[in-house]
Amino acid sequence: MTEIVVVGGGLTGLLASIFAVDRGAKVTLVARGRGGLTLSHGCIDVWGKATPSRALSRLRMSHPYRLAGAESLRTGLEFLRDLCHQADLPYIGNISRNLRLPTALGTIHTSALAPKSLALGDLRDNTPITIAGVDGFRDFYPELVVANLLKAGIAINDALQLPLPLSAARRDPYAMDLARSFDDQHFRDEVARIWKPRLSGIKRLGVPAILGLFNPQLAHEELQERLGMALFEIPTLPPSLPGLRLERLLQRKAMEMGVFVIEGPKVLGRVDGSAKPARVSGVVLQTAGGARTLTADIVLLATGGVLHGGLVFQQNGRVQESVLDLPVSYDEGRQHWTAYSPLETQPYANYGLRVNEQMQPLGADGLPIYTNLFCAGGLIAGADRSGEGSRQGIGVATAYRAIEAALG
């Protein structure tokens, strides 16, 4: 059985582990910390700037989507959608037409796939919307959402504030606190009882994403039915419940399928010095109790680029890859890393590892550095994920392609 070590516990690392175990590999996932899912909206952005299915074939050949190939994206998304469906967290959408979802700032987020409870807020549907905040929750301002959506020409009714059946709170509730309350059947019954008379005439209601953590689909469906209207969630500031729900689902699924998970240690790569061509022999985990070695047939890096430590920007002007010190594509000179205005495209966004179509990191000679080393996700050079609206799509496509290339 092929043994794979996947480094990184974000969307990319979790999915790569699941793809690999599904193909019969023995998988260990090691992550120093949590990935970025709880900082995201929980949707799968493929190409926010235009219709993904049309835009992707026109990208330059060095873009991660072109290298991974359209089929990897399609199959990876299908796989992810099936997983979510089986786990009772259905995702809606496709790459032929982006959803247009309201954000907590009243801007419009375009995404290919979204959890059903968010997708019901799709602004392509003309059913007028009312936006409600809930008493005591400070991280959501319905008036702001309404004012900005109106400016964008969206048919929107009103903003209102709804009470919650909370006992005397001892601190400001966060989204997580409220989600835990919504997991409770008795609490939901009370919410439905208190809200229903205040919502007469409303057809579609948007609320902050707080409707449960452990069984959000049940909470959402039940409330919709009891209130007699379409109800949708809008992601809030991190920790984002939709991102957290997806993270929980993927972690649970990975472990159920047999992935062994090690959380906490920083990972360094181990090179087999005697092999020709060069190979990695595994990784070294830096734990509190000392170094621990894991041997592997294949190592896959899903360490997420600069935001999560896959790339380290150093004071001396060097950008270093954190596991094997692989060559990084970046501009020499710190003054070139950022653009003058935060609104411009940031050069650093494109930095990362250059890879071939098998997702193998390349050296200066354009050849794979190690025959059994692969990478995926935010670590790969050549995409401004934030500007393109492509973060999650690149993670899915490259994770799928890397595992396919590694395991055949």
Pick from 18, 25, 32, 178 the residue near ligand FAD by CB under 6 A: 32
Residue 310 within binding range of ligand FAD, rule CB under 6 A: yes
Residue 11 within binding range of ligand FAD, rule CB under 6 A: yes
User: Are the C-beta atoms of 109 and 148 separated by less than 8 Å?
Assistant: no
Smallest distance, ligand FAD to C-beta of residue 113, A? 13
Residue 241 within binding range of ligand FAD, rule CB under 6 A: no
Residue 117 within binding range of ligand FAD, rule CB under 6 A: no
Smallest distance, ligand FAD to C-beta of residue 5, A? 10
Smallest distance, ligand FAD to C-beta of residue 45, A? 6
Residue 113 within binding range of ligand FAD, rule CB under 6 A: no
Residue 393 within binding range of ligand FAD, rule CB under 6 A: no
Residue 12 within binding range of ligand FAD, rule CB under 6 A: yes
Residue 380 within binding range of ligand FAD, rule CB under 6 A: no
Choose the binding region for ligand FAD from 30-38, 92-100, 272-280, 360-368 (rule: CB under 6 A): 30-38
- Name the residue nearer to ligand FAD (CB basis): 131 or 397: 397
Residue 395 within binding range of ligand FAD, rule CB under 6 A: yes
Pick from 303, 350, 360, 390 the residue near ligand FAD by CB under 6 A: 303
Using CB positions, name the residue nearest to ligand FAD.
10
Pick from 17, 27, 36, 249 the residue near ligand FAD by CB under 6 A: 36
- Name the residue nearer to ligand FAD (CB basis): 13 or 368: 13
Smallest distance, ligand FAD to C-beta of residue 241, A? 14
Size of the site for ligand FAD (CB under 6 A): 33
Give the tokens for residue 322: 């954190």
User: Are the C-beta atoms of 211 and 117 separated by less than 8 Å?
Assistant: yes
Q: Residue 276 CB: number of other CB atoms within 10 A? A: 8
Cis ω before 277 (30° cut-off from 0): yes
- Name the residue nearer to ligand FAD (CB basis): 217 or 390: 390
Residue 28 within binding range of ligand FAD, rule CB under 6 A: no
The dihedral region occupied by 88, where left means phi > 0, alpha psi between -120 and 50, and beta the remainder, is left
Residue 323 within binding range of ligand FAD, rule CB under 6 A: yes
Pick from 102, 378, 382, 393 the residue near ligand FAD by CB under 6 A: 378
Smallest distance, ligand FAD to C-beta of residue 83, A? 16
Which amino acid is located at 82 in the chain?
Answer: D
Between CA 152 and CA 401 the distance in angstroms is: 39
- Name the residue nearer to ligand FAD (CB basis): 208 or 243: 243
Residue 236 within binding range of ligand FAD, rule CB under 6 A: no
Smallest distance, ligand FAD to C-beta of residue 312, A? 9
Smallest distance, ligand FAD to C-beta of residue 32, A? 3
Question: Residues 105, 108, 111, 117: is their CA dihedral positive or negative?
Answer: positive
Which residues sit at the interface with ligand FAD, rule CB under 6 A?
7-13, 30-36, 39-41, 266-267, 302-304, 307-310, 322-323, 377-378, 391-392, 395
